[in-house]
Amino acid sequence: MASAPRPGPSNFTLSEQWLLMAATVFVCGFLGYVVYDAVMATATEMLQRLLVISPLILIISVHWLSSGRQFSIPYSRVRAWCHP
């Protein structure tokens, strides 16, 4: 039986290995930056939405807590009184 040929040692020189390693680091760094940029853009959009919505949530929660834990929409009684 013939044995399978063994892979020999790498034929790359030191400068070729350095160039391959530098190219790999560059590509991984670029892809990491692209992913980081996308994640930060999404997080920024979510934070902006939260900052816009938070005053409304605060007003509703203060109204709910000050009304004796009975949630009612402000002026709902006035509308019911005006339109029988």
Q: In this predicted model, what pLDDT tens digit does every residue of 40-65 receive, in sequence order? A: 999 999 999 999 999 999 998 888 88
Residue 40 tokens read as: 């930060």
Domain ranges of the chain: 23-82
- Evaluate whether 72 touches 79 at the Cβ level (below 8 Å): no
Full-prediction pTM beyond 0.85? no
CB atoms within 10 A of CB 64: 13
- Evaluate whether 63 touches 74 at the Cβ level (below 8 Å): yes
With tokens 């160039």, the residue in question is 19
What is the pLDDT at residue 81? Answer: 52
Cα 14 to the chain's mean position, in Å? 41
| Nearest of 46, 68, 49 to residue 57 by alpha carbon | 49
Q: In this predicted model, what pLDDT tens digit does every residue of 9-33 receive, in sequence order? A: 567 788 889 999 999 999 999 999 9
